[in-house]
Amino acid sequence: MIDQPRILFLFSDTGGGHRSATEAIIEAVEHGFPGRFHAEMIDVLADYAPRPLNRLPQAYPQMVRSPRAWSWGFHALDGHRRARALTAAAWPYVRGAARRLVLERQADLVVCTHPLLNAPVLRALGPRRPPFITVVTDLVTAHALWYHHRADLCLVPTEAARDRAIAFGMLPEQIRVVGLPVSRRFCQPPGDPARLRADLGWPSDLPMVLLVGGGEGMGPIFKIARAIAACGQRCGLAVVAGRNARLRSRLEDQMWEVPTFVYGFERRMPQMMQAADLLVTKAGPSTIAEAMNASLPMILFGRLPGQEDGNVQFVVENGLGVWSPGVQTTAAAVVDWLSHPEERKRAAAACRRTARPDAADAVASV
């Protein structure tokens, strides 16, 4: 029996987007080329990085709760020369871990979906190495660490990300614009909203607002939910608290002015997005891509400074939604959009035009 070619996927759980994009690509490989390849996912920081870098996945939720410090760190190290200086300085510290990784996890192709991993893994692999592909999971303002000149191919989600790659020293022939890979569950043809609502137990006679804060339930979700419910608008509200059990408990203990449905970590997000009329969320790239695939207009209430700044610009400039930071501003935007269904229809059409539901398949076919 001939051994299957091995594809090694390198990621880390600093934010949900790296894992979800990696899983979407593997899913597309298995769907498009069943039984042809052996795929392996490695959380490199958790499984190989030296201390304290190996604790970054657990520390990430707390780190992003300090947006000023995060913004300073992002911008201080963002730049072609600064990124190369950083990786050169870090090499003696991470060299042993990187070399152990490439020795223990030999592969015929390496796919990287995390910016911190490109430089050390490429250096550890040496000159006689397998092909190395970077898949960028930030929509626009991706950090310079994403773009390494020795990568064989850099797959980016938008034209703006391509321009940034060139500005950071990559050659045009190294870059392809493919979209942002998301699970096939988010790429299905539109379902019947009435049937979807019936399955979810949502009212059929009210516009539905879907409020999410990512898998960790981040941001002022409780305050925004209360402000939307109290705004006097005739609507229903679905709030996804993710893994944030404390937030879910607080939401479930409330008396609500409108029909309100509270969820934890939810596998039915594709159905919810297709059944809802409006999405209220932070500017995470995966959520934006999933909403575009569902033709769901969006109101953005927050963003992580640095890599998510461009996501806000992307949504607004393409007519996919609006930027409304602040609890009361967000609630006012919900009232405005629910009062103007024609604007929502235009935004939904813009989502359909901009969406790239074939992104994962495009990566798998490279």
Note whether 72 and 125 are same-domain residues: yes
- Mean pLDDT of each 10-residue bin along the chain, 366 residues long: 86 90 98 96 97 91 87 92 95 97 97 97 97 97 96 98 96 98 95 95 97 82 97 96 93 96 95 98 96 98 94 97 97 97 97 97 96
Confidence (pLDDT) at 1: 42
Q: What is the CATH number of the domain that holds 140?
A: 3.40.50
Confidence (pLDDT) at 114: 97
Enter the pTM of the model: 0.95
Q: What is the CATH number of the domain that holds 316?
A: 3.40.50.2000
Tokens of 191: 């379902």
Asked whether residue 96 is domain-assigned, the answer is: yes
Residue 144 · residue 78 · CB < 8 Å: yes
Residue 140 · residue 158 · CB < 8 Å: yes
Cis status, amide bond into 52, omega within 30 of 0 = yes
Note whether 169 and 252 are same-domain residues: no
Residue ranges making up the domain that contains 219 = 186-354
| CA torsion, ordered 282, 182, 209, 335, to nearest 10 deg | 50
Note whether 259 and 167 are same-domain residues: no
**Sheet strands side by side (includes 6-11):** 38-43, 6-11, 109-112, 132-135, 153-156, 175-177
Tokens of 173: 């022939």
| Ramachandran category for residue 355: left, alpha or beta (phi over 0 → left; psi -120 to 50 → alpha) | beta
| CA torsion, ordered 192, 193, 197, 200, to nearest 10 deg | 60
Note whether 214 and 104 are same-domain residues: no
Note whether 101 and 143 are same-domain residues: yes
Note whether 167 and 240 are same-domain residues: no
| Ramachandran category for residue 326: left, alpha or beta (phi over 0 → left; psi -120 to 50 → alpha) | left
Note whether 54 and 150 are same-domain residues: yes
Confidence (pLDDT) at 148: 96
Note whether 93 and 230 are same-domain residues: no
Confidence (pLDDT) at 2: 57
What domain count does the chain have? Answer: 2
